[in-house]
Amino acid sequence: MATLEKLLHDRLASAFDLVAGMPTSPGVRRSKHADFQADGALALARQLGRKPRDVAADVVRVAQLDDLCTSVEISGPGFINLTVATDALASLLAEMTRDERLGIPSVAAPDTVVVDYSAPNVAKEMHVGHLRSTVIGDAVVRLLDWLGHRVIKANHLGDWGTPFGMLIEHLLDIGESEAVAELSLGDLNSFYKAARVKFDADDSFKERARQRVVALQGGDELTRRLWRLLVAASEKYFMTVYDRFDVCLTEKDFLGESFYNDMLHPLVDELDRLGLLRESDGAKVVFPVGFVNREGEPLPLIVRKRDGGFGYAATDLAAIRYRTQELEATRLLYVVGSPQRQHFEMVYEIAREAGWLRPPARAHHVGFGSILGSDGKMFRTRGGDTIKLVDLIDEAVSRAAALVEEIDQLDDAGRAEVARMVGIGALKYADLSNDRNKDYVFDWARMLSFEGNTAPYLQYARVRILSIFRQGGVTPVRDLVTLTVSEPAERALAIELLAFEGVIAEVAESLEFHRLATYLYGLAATFTTFYEKCPVLRAEDGVRDDRLALCDLTARVLARGLGLLGIGAPDRM
RNA sequence: GCGCCCGUAGCUCAGCGGAUAGAGCAGGGGACUUCUAAUCCCAAGGCCGCAGGUUCGAAUCCUGCCGGGCGCACCA
């Protein structure tokens, strides 16, 4: 389906091309002076050496807009103001009601997308630091999947490295069953800390740990089994967190660092063959072009450490090669904090130089800022400790439970389910409604408020709509051929609804979910104006059905939009 | 030193070259015999960090400052 804005754009583009004699952007956008405006004449006038208003007049003369607009006027210095015909609105809306996908088709040429996100560490608690990656990455997965792309979730688990020496030795000390029980239940911090304490205090333990690392890397069978035990127990725990948080990661998506172990030696060999590998201070490194260190010298990416071990850079390179060559990925997304930006830029550059990343395949760092406390510093507990992710989730749900306590139309189980949707929704939405490039300030009261740009507000807006249907005992029809849109509030809502596709298209590329959030909030706000001004159930028969259709579409767009953000929408609250 | 990100109302945030810079919160004033008032409406609140430049037009693009955050060789 063609979206309204795109239709206007295309028609005007043809007209502009005629007037300019070359491809010219019409500059169509929403306007407060009309439904839409086109700014293209102002920019074009300069190139043609003519007056903007004259250019605009020529464009209007040749533009074929009769079926779309009732009014096309030139205003100010040369803006073209467009008022959309209600017939056009009506038929587009009717088409939208009939479409299961709300006018948004599956993509014609799907990408194979690898989304690298969440990435907790084995035997370590998930904390606030994992919140944004998990929430944003999950939204990326849901959106691209819904659009019909082939999405591969890659949970780049920290399941390898020197800490496993001490972790395995600690496991042996306390016994396998005890360790597994502790880890599966989520008592990860105390397990890790206990290991750490012994490691720091006890030299013989430290030596055992060191030996154990060697055994692990050497493939010693017992050690591997114990390691696997640690990983499995942690994965089991992480799954409980994901389930509780409504995150769509599954057991199958754990693709930890260790997965790439066997690829690391061949990787180094290939870099060597390609002539990219250098020796520096005893380490094997690659110097990607365009990167310098603080002395202005070429900045290396260390592929193999002086001691022969591999660092994360090697794993990241192996992963990128695996993803493009084995998984045949065309779009690689790394949902990782902004501080790691340079690292990934270096990895991408090397991958391009090595030929592992070439068009149409592209890699993109989906970076994000930090979560801050109300004091403007990194969000921590009052004691200065990092906050566990489960604690955050639990608090969100229990705070939401206090809010929904008064709902008398639901039983206890129903209220608990609503509390979950509201609490988790609030937490996720607070993250996704902010520009991910920026830091944001964490504030329980604000995110759980029913006023302002919050998940509860959007959820509530939809509940009010469903309440109309229940109250009237009606089911909105979805096979309309046309409908009437006459009141200003109806028009405003109609135009807002028709903008959904454009927003989705934009976010699918930029992965800036706050644009979707801003849109949904605008839609909900536009709806409440409509709700105040236009009675639905009390309207006359013809009008009533049309208003019901507007309500229904709004509810569906809200539910779909929230769903793409990983947020549920309760039917009552 | 080099690089990246950020600076918009008292607070939290939108605004990816267009008309008079927008929301929410807080503070002020209103609206519940009404489809859920957990809502809505009205008024008030701004040298868009500073200074130049490009442009018919700059919060938006460029340069330089100021202020804050983060990276920059064997941790991920």
The ipTM assigned to this model is 0.96
Q: Of all nucleotides in the shown strands, which has a C1' nearest the CA of A42? A: B56
As a whole number of angstroms, the longest Cα–Cα distance in chain A is 88
Q: Report which of residues 357-376 in chain A place their beta carbon less than 7 angstroms from any atom of strand B.
A: 369-370, 372, 376
pLDDT one-digit tens code per residue, A121-177? 998 999 999 999 999 999 999 999 999 999 999 999 999 988 999 999 999 999 988
Q: Report which of residues 269-288 in chain A place their beta carbon less than 7 angstroms from any atom of strand B.
A: 280-283, 285
Q: How far is the CA of A122 from the C1' of B44 (A)?
A: 54
Query: What is the spatial distance between Cα A523 and Cα A534, in angstroms, rounded to a whole number?
Result: 16
Q: Report which of residues 208-247 in chain A place their beta carbon less than 7 angstroms from any atom of strand B.
A: none
Whole-Å CA distances, A531 to A15, A442, A539, A541, A549:
39, 32, 12, 17, 13
Residue-level pLDDT at A1: 44
Would you say the C-beta of A306 is within 7 Å of strand B? yes
Whole-Å CA distances, A29 to A5, A68, A82, A497:
8, 15, 10, 15
Q: Of all nucleotides in the shown strands, which has a C1' nearest the CA of A309? A: B74
For residue A485, give the nearest of A549, A531, A554, A556 by alpha carbon: A549
Which ranges of chain A have pLDDT less than 70? 1-2
Would you say the C-beta of A562 is within 7 Å of strand B? no
Would you say the C-beta of A402 is within 7 Å of strand B? no
Measure the CA angle with vertex A119, ends A113 and A122; round to 5°: 140
Query: What is the spatial distance between Cα A383 and Cα A361, in angstroms, rounded to a whole number?
Result: 46
Q: How far is the CA of A365 from the C1' of B4 (A)?
A: 13
Q: Please tell me whether residue A104 adopts helix, strand or coil conformation.
A: coil
Q: If you search the block for the tokens 């949904």, which residue do you land on?
A: A520
Q: Is there a cis peptide before residue A298, judged by omega within 30 degrees of 0? A: no
Q: What one-letter code names the amino acid at A549?
A: A
pLDDT one-digit tens code per residue, A297-350? 889 999 999 988 898 999 999 999 999 999 999 999 999 999 999 999 999 999
- Domain A4-84 is in which class? alpha beta
Would you say the C-beta of A484 is within 7 Å of strand B? no
Q: CATH 3.30.1360.70 region(s) of chain A? A: 4-84
| Cα of A540 vs its chain's centroid, Å | 43
Query: What is the spatial distance between Cα A356 and Cα A358, in angstroms, rounded to a whole number?
Result: 6
Terminal Cα-to-Cα distance of chain A (whole angstroms):
34
Per-residue HEC secondary structure of A178-227 comes to HHHHHHHCCCHHHHHHHHHHHHHHCHHHHHHHHHHHHHHHCCCHHHHHHH
Retrieve residue A34's tokens: 């009309």
Q: Of all nucleotides in the shown strands, which has a C1' nearest the CA of A160? A: B76
What is the rounded average pLDDT for all residues in chain A? 93
Whole-Å CA distances, A15 to A59, A389, A502:
5, 55, 22
Enter the DSSP assignment of A121. B
Retrieve residue A90's tokens: 């009506």
Q: Report which of residues 489-518 in chain A place their beta carbon less than 7 angstroms from any atom of strand B.
A: 506, 510, 512, 514-515, 518
Would you say the C-beta of A27 is within 7 Å of strand B? yes
Looking at domain A389-564, its CATH architecture is: Orthogonal Bundle (1.10)
Would you say the C-beta of A157 is within 7 Å of strand B? no
Residue-level pLDDT at A2: 59
Would you say the C-beta of A293 is within 7 Å of strand B? yes
Q: Report which of residues 127-156 in chain A place their beta carbon less than 7 angstroms from any atom of strand B.
A: none
Q: CATH 1.10.730.10 region(s) of chain A? A: 389-564
Cα atoms in the Cβ-side hemisphere of radius 13 Å centred on A374: 5
Q: Of all nucleotides in the shown strands, which has a C1' nearest the CA of A367? A: B5
Q: How far is the CA of A464 from the C1' of B33 (A)?
A: 21
